[in-house]
Structure 1
Amino acid sequence: MIIDCDVHHARRKEVDLAPYLPEPWRSELLKYGERKMDSGILNEGGFRWDSIPPNGGPAGSDPDFLREQLLDKYNYSYALLTGSGYHISAIPDPDYAQAICSAYNDHSIEHWLPKDKRFKGVIMVAPQDPHLAAREIERLGDHPDMVMVAMSSTSRIPFGNRFYYPIYEAAQRKGLPIGVHTGQSNAMFAQASPTPAGVARNYLEWHSCVPQIYMGHLASIILEGVFERFPRLKFVLIEGGFDWLPHLMWRMDGRFKGLRQQAPWLKRLPSEYIADHVRLTTQPWPDPKKEEHLLHIFDMMDAENILMFASDYPHWDFDEPSVLPKKLSETARKKILHDNAAEFFNLK
């Protein structure tokens, strides 16, 4: 059995959100369509060529075809529907952004979750206004099939900053983990610096440097003491890779030993908070020349207890469950493909 932590379902048409939007956003959507971010970056990634539904429409927009092509084919027990709106945190209007997120959520609840008991939803929020985001978590946090709060990694403020505390308070109160999903390349200009060197010239450069964004957010979350302030809160980092984690853990632990006066609220080594509060998904899968090199990284980061499988369906870099190393133990394989996510999301 498999739990997939990142399945991108979609709407057939933009106007499908209109019934869930209040005015003036409903009239705006019907007249002009949904607001877009245009960065000038050519995104050549796209979708698997075979993921377009037989009856037409965007990839990932047909629940029956998605079920056939993914859930049934690979014997899934659950699939987390993470959507396709991660440009939303780049929109400068926080009222519009959260209205769109709320409409996404309501559309998924009505048109997707009833289609298959294996579908699980996420509460998408726009972090531009944490109080509006917290209100959305309060509104939907008790829904039995909404198992995570989701927000984009695109941000001008690192996620350890107290600016986000209203989101974290609401998520902890509802017992929901927070999923940080990589922002879309067309939203990169909304970030202070999408790579430490500045703005990438093309999609290839940006995509190669996505782990750096996650490293910055995770260091901020840990070293700013988020888990001391919110001891029951958990995070999962989605679609940002994982092989960078040992380096970051070693670096934070080493620097903390000499600079602990700058983080007096921490009571343990940074890496120990990661073990208790943070999970990462497998996608996109790294491509070392030798499999044993990857197994060494697995051992360094305690992968069998921290990693959770994600396919990123229906994107071009989709990963099948068979991507896991052949020499991985059956215990570790079972944990990564199913058990870790079942425990993390409290899925029976």
Structure 2
Amino acid sequence: MKLPFRGAVDCDIHPAAPPMPALLPYMNDYWSDQLHNRYVDRMGFAMTSNNPLLPIHGRPDWKPKGGVPGSDTAMLRSQALDAFGTDYAICNIIHGAVVLFNGDMASAILSAFNDWVARELLPTDRRLRGSIVVSLQDPKLAVAEIERLAGNPDFVQILLPSLGEMPIGRRIYWPVFEAATRAGLPICLHAGGLYRQAPMGSGWPSYFVEDYVTQSTGFEGALVSLLAEGVFQKFPDLTFVLAETGATWLPPFLWRQDKMWLGVRTELPWIDRIPREIICERVRLTLQPFDAPSDPTLVERVLDHFGTDEILLFSTDYPHWHFDGEDVVPDGFSPELIRKIAIDNPYATYRRLQKPHIATPAASELST
């Protein structure tokens, strides 16, 4: 289904990360020399879980000639912004530096990367908004980076990979959550990981499909950790966005979480109400890839199981391989729900976004 109106907020697009030499001008002499002398500036820095050279990273019809998907800003503008009448699109670029064991080097590269985003990517189109990318190797450095960029209104969230070195709710990460709260920025956990541990509990998989399908269990683990460790209670104003997660795994997870909590709730006295209510208030999921059946009646039943129309955020996931092209909304979504997830929910989640105008019908709708 196509969007029936203009004015949507796309909460997950993927411009390509720049080559390392493009970041050197944003580094001091020490780090510029270090990266050059150690040949780091000639590395691709592609993550195992987010390699732009793999066919799965982009649809063949969205790949520019001679470049990786998302590297051509004119194509991005035409295919991901103009095509849907998008008012804003949030750029989620997980740079490979997040996996480095050297926290100082990771911080230096990511600071340069964030500056490149602010000065070279976002100015290419007024509709683009950025995500502050930080490494959790050294939470103090992550806090410093958040505070450094918090005053830039073009950054609307903090971006982290969903599978880290430790469960995300651990107190070692709480200073990052506190900094996000002070800045009024949501934290986005995006599919992918550091690969410190196997993505599946029994060990390393043989095939990509095993990794990809089990990514949802990583998000389940993140939610359980945030709940059990008391993050939602400690930071009552902090919102978490789960990006590129799929969505249909959430209702059965909530059923299981609620049932288990009822049996062991004396262990977690700080959780003073049913977990479903907390998650539905504090967590948001991007739409794509929407892993529901193709039957619209079954999609409607899945949506009913969420129990709220506030949890989904519109996204295209451009230009990834499961991007659905023009039919970006699954059949089975009512016009009211589409408007809710495409406009109301994103603006409620990303408080820094200002509505430029009231959503209007798409050109295709005006001609009918």
Gaps in structure 1 of 5+ consecutive residues: none
Q: Which residue of 1 aligns with 2:233?
A: 228
Q: Give the structure-1-normalised TM-score.
A: 0.91
Question: What are the equivalent positions in structure 2 for 1:1-348 lying under 5 Å apart?
Answer: 1-31=7-37, 32=39, 33-34=42-43, 35=45, 43-53=54-64, 56-85=66-95, 87-183=96-192, 187-188=194-195, 190=196, 192-302=197-307, 304-320=309-325, 322-346=327-351, 347-348=353-354
Measured after TM superposition, the shift of residue 93 of structure 1 is 1.2
Measured after TM superposition, the shift of residue 88 of structure 1 is 3.3
Equivalent-residue separation in structure 2 for 1:307 and 1:3 (angstroms): 12
Whether the 8 Å CA contact 1:46–1:315 is kept in 2: the answer is: yes
Report the more deviating stretch, 308-317 or 318-327.
Answer: 318-327
Whether the 8 Å CA contact 1:90–1:154 is kept in 2: the answer is: no
Q: Give SS of 1:183's match.
A: strand
Measured after TM superposition, the shift of residue 38 of structure 1 is 6.1
Question: With CA pairs under 8 Å and 6+ residues apart, which has the higher RCO, 1 or 2?
Answer: 2
Report the more deviating stretch, 170-179 or 270-279.
Answer: 270-279
Equivalent-residue separation in structure 1 for 2:317 and 2:333 (angstroms): 22
Q: Give SS of 1:312's match.
A: coil
Distance 1:245 1:175, change over 3 A: same
Equivalent-residue separation in structure 1 for 2:57 and 2:14 (angstroms): 12
Q: Give SS of 2:57's match.
A: coil
Equivalent-residue separation in structure 1 for 2:16 and 2:238 (angstroms): 29
Report the more deviating stretch, 26-35 or 3-12.
Answer: 26-35
Measured after TM superposition, the shift of residue 118 of structure 1 is 0.7
Equivalent-residue separation in structure 1 for 2:234 and 2:166 (angstroms): 18
Q: Give SS of 2:10's match.
A: strand
Equivalent-residue separation in structure 2 for 1:53 and 1:289 (angstroms): 30
Q: Which residue of 1 aligns with 2:360?
A: none
Deviations 1:63-112 (A, max 9, x none): 23211121011100100011141x43322111111222111110010012
Report the more deviating stretch, 289-298 or 232-241.
Answer: 289-298
Equivalent-residue separation in structure 1 for 2:288 and 2:274 (angstroms): 27
Equivalent-residue separation in structure 2 for 1:103 and 1:257 (angstroms): 47
State the superposition RMSD in angstroms.
Answer: 2.1
Gaps in structure 2 of 5+ consecutive residues: 1-6, 355-368
Equivalent-residue separation in structure 2 for 1:327 and 1:242 (angstroms): 15
Report the more deviating stretch, 91-100 or 205-214.
Answer: 91-100
Equivalent-residue separation in structure 1 for 2:104 and 2:231 (angstroms): 26
Amino-acid identity (%): 38
Q: Give SS of 1:76's match.
A: coil
Report the more deviating stretch, 107-116 or 300-309.
Answer: 300-309
Equivalent-residue separation in structure 2 for 1:38 and 1:147 (angstroms): 26
Measured after TM superposition, the shift of residue 345 of structure 1 is 0.3
Deviations 1:209-238 (A, max 9, x none): 110100000111112210110111110000
Whether the 8 Å CA contact 1:196–1:212 is kept in 2: the answer is: no
Equivalent-residue separation in structure 1 for 2:326 and 2:184 (angstroms): 28
- Aligned amino acid, residue 120 of structure 2: H
Q: Give SS of 1:147's match.
A: strand
Equivalent-residue separation in structure 1 for 2:34 and 2:71 (angstroms): 23
Equivalent-residue separation in structure 2 for 1:175 and 1:38 (angstroms): 31
Distance 1:128 1:251, change over 3 A: same
- Aligned amino acid, residue 2 of structure 1: A
Q: Give SS of 1:153's match.
A: strand
Whether the 8 Å CA contact 1:242–1:282 is kept in 2: the answer is: yes
- Aligned amino acid, residue 281 of structure 1: T
Equivalent-residue separation in structure 1 for 2:122 and 2:189 (angstroms): 21
- Aligned amino acid, residue 206 of structure 1: D
- Aligned amino acid, residue 104 of structure 1: F
- Aligned pair count reads 341
Q: Give the structure-2-normalised TM-score.
A: 0.87
- Aligned amino acid, residue 92 of structure 1: F
